[in-house]
Amino acid sequence: MAREREGRGRGALRAGAAPAVLLLCAAGLLAAPPASAAATGGCAGKLVKSLPFAGGEVRVYKSRTQACAAAVAAAPGTRRPMAVSVQPRGGVPLRDTGQFTRYAGPVTVGAINRCVYVKGSIGAGSAESGWILC
C-alpha cells in the first residue's frame, strides 16, 4: 500500500510536470517575437508621417491624446549623434539628443487639437515636418 502512494505523491507530480515545463519553454522559443521597439521607436499610436533623410527617418505617431516622434537609423550599429524634438503649437519643444545606435526618442507631447512641429537628425542628415497634425 505504501508503494501505491509513492506513485501519486510529489515525485509523481514532478515527473509529470517536467515534460509540461519543457513543452512550454519550447513553445516560448518558437513563438513569434514581439515587435521590437526600434520598429516603432517606442511610440504608441498610429504612424501618421514618415520623414526620410540620409541615414534614417523621423517617424511621427498620433494617438487620441498625444503625438510622438522618434528618429530611426536606416542602418543601426555604430554610435552616432541623433536627435528628435516635438513642439506643440504654443508650447516649448521636447527633445532627446545623444549618441545612440538605433533611434533617438521617443518624445511624446500632449496634442489634443494642437499642431506639432517635428525635427530629427542622425549624423549629418536631418528632416523637419513643418506644422502638422492640425
At 30, which helix (H) or strand (E)? helix 10-30
Looking only at the bridges linking them, the beta strands covering 80-88 and 94-100 are antiparallel
pLDDT higher than 50, residue 33: no
Question: How far apart, in whole angstroms, are the C-alpha atoms of residue 93 and residue 38?
Answer: 23
pLDDT of residue 42: 83
Across residues 15-43, what is the average pLDDT? 48
Residue in the structure block whose three cell numbers are 502512494: 5
Global pTM reads: 0.70
What is the per-residue pLDDT across 36-84, written as a single tens digit (0 to 9) for each? 444 566 899 999 999 999 999 999 999 999 999 999 999 999 999 999 9
What average pLDDT does this structure show over 3-21? 50
Give the type of residue at 39: A
Q: Give the pLDDT confidence of 101-122 residue by residue, as tens digits.
A: 999 999 999 999 899 999 999 9
Dist CA 34 CA 52 (whole Å): 25
Answer yes or no: are the C-beta atoms of 100 and 120 closer than 8 Å.
Answer: no
The Cα 118–Cα 129 span in angstroms is: 5
User: What is the average pLDDT score of the chain?
Assistant: 81
pLDDT score, position 78: 92
Assign 39 to helix, strand or coil: helix
Question: Do residues 97 and 67 make contact, with C-beta atoms less than 8 angstroms apart?
Answer: no
